[in-house]
Amino acid sequence: MYVQVVLSKVSPQTDKEYTYKIPAESTSRAAVGIQVLIPFGRAKAVGYITAISKEAPAGVERLKEILEIRTRVPLFSRRSVETAKWISFYYCCLFGSALRLFLPPGIEAYEKTAGKRRIEFPISPSTGLGASNFPLDRDRGKQFPIPKEQTKKDAGKPVLLFNAGLSERTGTYIKEAQKTLSENRGVILLLPEIGHDNRFVEEFKKNFGDIVAVIHSNMTEKERFCEWERLYLGKAKIAIGTRSAIFAPVHYPGLIIVEDENEFTYKSEQTPKYHVRDTALFMAEKLSARLILSSSSPSVESFFRAQNGKYFFSEKDQIVNDSKPEILVVDTKEERSRQLSSVLKEEIARSLDEQKPVMLIQNRRGYAPFLVCGACGNAIECPNCSLSLTYHSPDGTIRCHRCGFLSEKKIVCPKCFSHSINYFGAGTQKIESEIGKLFPKVRTIRIDRDNLSSKKNASIALEAFVKDEAQVLIGTQMVLKALPKKKFGLVAVISADAALNSPDFRAAESAFDFLFRITAGDNNAIPPDRVVIQTLNPQHYAVTSAVEGDYKKFYATEIMSRKDFGYPPFSFLINVILSGKDREAVRQEALQICSQLKAFDRTIEILGPVKAPLEKLRGMVRYQMLIKGQDLAIIKSKLKEMVAVLSKNRQIRLSVDVDPVNLG
Ligand SMILES: [Zn+2]
Ligand SMILES: [Zn+2]
């Protein structure tokens, strides 16, 4: 018997399946997903079996034998191998790193015990599980019945659930999950994030009890392993979680739900840079599982696919909401203070008079986000990144929000060595101190990443606000989560301009989504009495359509602009970033790669190479190329080769981001 093995240690040079022989006495214990110890070169290595065959592959002679079978049960299924291969191909990353997404939490520690003392990986063997009766591979390929509201033509298509309110969605998800469980299949519910009092988790636990497993990044490794094991052993049949829950060992998933499908957090920013929605699309098709994507402001790509019949479009009538907030857009061009306009000050005073709490949103933390030399006018940037430093009060520190650079001393202008540094702009801390000056008797609470310790999440702090007597809540976008809980007299956006002006083709989409959440909100949230939006661009269509609460109007303008510029969904994009310490070397390499790629596939368009929007990051100079095309399959294989070649050159790093959501 022969097996294909992928090394546990991932590197571009060894990212392939190696063939080994299984010693006769071990054949009954070999299976896809089993961890093995193999001879590799002159050393030993840990790997995972990804395929098994009776015949030796043609042309291969004198195969080495596996040294040891290291787990009693397989850790992933054949289906996981298929998905990992797709992720590796589609997102241009290493197969080995894609496969690791499926491994149980804590596996690294066990891999390190290879060749040392023998311990058993802690999946309880008492259940009688063995390689031969692995639960994850049972019942493959059964057809999923056609849901009632879908016609035959739409059978099996993913569903885009548009405009459904929170309680309506919860009801739909539970009903669909019941149906799926009755067919003896599992359920995966993906959420952009999970606080300690998530409505979906509560409702699912109420309806399904112990068979619900919850997985998110605020859990310890041990907690995550326990939930992983319960799913693996079939004790839990429903996985609810953030991004990584898509890889949880749910038995034969029949239903995958992606709540708020347009959330950018669904795209991993670390390699493998996969998108949960698109991975779910692939898996649902392979499994003949039902896929529900839900949002009230869907991604432009998803709405486009629904409009073109790729998805089944299920639109809910928006409930006519009499309690919709009154919305005021303030053009800050004519205001003396761009942070707190006279209209905003009046509105704050009015709400406080009415004894109703106020929420102020500013998407910059710290006190002053811009530092400028008073002597020569030089903008003071982080020494490692091309990004303005932020002044923080009350400790008087100066920090970089990207690399964590921290200066406790007075900063000196690097150009003229002057000590007179002026602070500009307003972060959340400055807004808080301004409110303190204007309304000295008012209690405020500030919620941003600076005053939330890592363990304590935003929802716990918000809970305190809801119970507390504080009247003004100030924070970054994360404070929006307080909306469903409390009746606010006023919610104000201090400036919508940073979102509108970001140099990214998705700027309008993310600005609309942000404003839409505040103005239209979720149907179940208690809407505030009034909303104030301050901006220098009051006529921008993202602002006007958000004020009207009209997604389709926004989409109509946005899709035309995407078409004009040939951006997704009219093309596919790959963002390639080269970085290194030596600017000229990086630039030369970028030019060379660009011309090689152009010669390799003449159907693609390459924008750049240019300096990346974030030109310097953590001391590395960065150049960017944006590859645009209708079919990028060929170019992806070429890029993968280039990554492997460049990985030998330690001076320059090549990073590839397929379907980027952030072009920085
Ligand atoms: Zn200066
Ligand atoms: Zn920095």
Q: Which ligand is nearest to the CA of 389?
A: 2
With left for phi above 0 and alpha for psi between -120 and 50, is residue 234 left, alpha or beta? left
CATH of the domain at 632: 3.30.70.600
| Phi (first) and psi of residue 546, to 5 degrees | -65, -40
Note whether 361 and 508 are same-domain residues. yes
Q: How far apart are CA 336 and CA 339, in angstroms?
A: 9
Ligand 1 center to 371 CA (angstroms): 11
pLDDT in tens, 158-183: 999 998 888 889 999 999 999 999 99
Ligand positioned closest to the Cα atom of 381: 2
CA of 49 to the centre of ligand 2 (A): 42
pTM metric for this prediction = 0.88
Q: Measured in angstroms, how far is the CA atom of residue 377 from the centroid of ligand 1? A: 6
- pLDDT at residue 311 is higher than 60: yes
Domain boundary residue, one of 137, 169, 192? 137
Mean pLDDT calculated for residue range 454-471: 65
Q: Which ligand is nearest to the CA of 404?
A: 2
Q: How far is the CA of 283 from the centre of ligand 2 (A)?
A: 39
Cα of 618 vs centre of ligand 2, distance in Å, is 6
CB atoms inside a 10 Å sphere around CB 192: 16
Q: How far is the CA of 276 from the centre of ligand 1 (A)?
A: 46
Same domain, 74 and 166: no
- 380 shares a domain with 361: no
Ligand in closest contact with the CA of 378: 1
**Among the listed residues 113, 104, 23, the one whose alpha carbon sits nearest the alpha carbon of residue 70:** 113
Distance 380 CA to ligand 1 centre (A): 8
Structure tokens at 549: 């609460």
Task: With cut-offs at 50, 70 and 90, classify the pLDDT of residue 143.
Answer: very low
Residues 44 and 130 in one domain: yes
Distance from residue 497's CA to the centre of ligand 1 (Å): 28
Largest CA distance in the chain: 85
CA distances from 139 to 134, 142, 143, 245 (A): 11, 7, 10, 21
| Centroid of ligand 2 to alpha carbon of 419 (angstroms) | 20
Residue 328 has pLDDT above 60, yes or no: yes
DSSP state letters, 228-257: HHHHHTTS--EEEESGGGGGS--SSEEEEE
Nearest ligand (C-alpha, residue 371): 1
Q: Are residues 238 and 114 in the same domain?
A: no
Which ligand is in closest contact with the Cα of 620? 2
pLDDT band for 319, please (50, 70, 90 cuts): low
* Number of the ligand closest to the Cα of 412: 1
Judgement on whether residues 345 and 272 belong to the same structural domain of the protein: no
User: In which domain, by residue range, is 625 found?
Assistant: 572-658
**More confident of the two residues 353 and 450:** 353
Q: Which amino acid is at 514?
A: F
Q: Ligand 1 center to residue 422 CA distance, Å? A: 10
441 within a domain of the structure (yes/no): yes
**321 band by pLDDT with thresholds 50, 70 and 90:** low
What is the phi/psi pair of residue 281, to 5°? -60, -45
What distance in angstroms lies between residue 664's CA and the mean position of ligand 2's atoms?
A: 14
Judged against a pLDDT cut of 60, whether residue 456 lies above it is answered with: no
Q: Are strands 2-7 and 43-53 parallel, antiparallel or unpaired?
A: antiparallel
Output the CA–CA distances (angstroms, integers) from residue 25 to 28, 31, 368, in the order listed: 8, 14, 69
End of a domain among 137, 171, 189?
Answer: 137
CA of 91 to the centre of ligand 2 (A): 28
Rounded distance from Cα 306 to ligand 1 centre (Å): 54
Residue 521's pLDDT is 63
Residue 130 has pLDDT above 60, yes or no: no
* Residue 9: C-alpha distances to residues 5, 78, 155 (Å): 12, 20, 42
- Let me know if residue 83 belongs to a domain: yes
Shared domain check, 397 and 252: no
- The residue among 342 and 650 whose pLDDT is bigger is 342
Between the CA of 419 and the centroid of ligand 1 the distance, in Å, is 8
* d(CA 40, ligand 2 centre) in Å: 41
Question: How confident is the model over 612-657, as pLDDT tens digits?
Answer: 888 889 889 999 999 999 999 889 989 988 888 888 877 899 999 9
Lowest-confidence segment of 399-413, 460-474, 492-506, 556-570 by average pLDDT: 460-474
> Do residue 17 and residue 156 come from a single domain?
no
DSSP 527-593: --SEEEEEES-TT-HHHHHHHHT-HHHHHHHHHHHHHHHT-TTSSEEEEEEEEES-HHHHHHHHHHH
Find out whether the peptide bond into 325 is cis, omega within 30 degrees of 0: no
CA distances from 347 to 336, 355, 376 (A): 17, 12, 39
3-class secondary structure, 267: strand
Say whether both 288 and 300 belong to one domain.
yes
**101 and 13 co-located in one domain:** yes
Cβ contacts of 18 within 8 Å, gap of 6 or more: 4, 5, 6, 7, 38, 40, 47
Residue 151, pLDDT score = 54
Q: What is the CATH number of the domain that holds 431?
A: 3.40.50.300
d(CA 629, CA 639): 14
Q: 621 CA distance to ligand 2 centroid (A)?
A: 12
CATH of the domain at 59: 3.40.1440.60
Which one has a higher pLDDT value, 150 or 167?
167
CA of 619 to the centre of ligand 2 (A): 8
Give the ligand with the smallest distance to the CA of 383.
2
Nearest ligand to the CA of 384 is 2
The last residue of one of the domains, among 114, 137, 160, is 137
Q: Measured in angstroms, how far is the CA atom of residue 414 from the centroid of ligand 1?
A: 7
Residues with CB in 5 Å of ion ligand 2? 382, 384-385, 400, 402-403, 405
Q: Tell me, yes or no, whether 418 and 526 share the same domain.
A: no
**In the predicted model, what is the mean pLDDT of residues 446-473?**
68
Residue 332 backbone dihedrals phi, psi, to 5 degrees: -80, 0
CA of 368 to the centre of ligand 2 (A): 16
pLDDT exceeds cutoff 80 at 71: yes
561, part of any domain: no
In a domain, 389, yes or no: yes
45 pairs with which residues across the strands?
A: 38
Task: Give the number of whichever ligand sits closest to the CA of residue 421.
Answer: 1
Which H/E stretch holds residue 326? Answer: strand 326-331
Alpha-carbon 276 to chain mean position: 8
Structural domains of the chain, count: 5
Query: Do 620 and 644 fall into the same domain?
Result: yes
Position 365 in a domain? yes
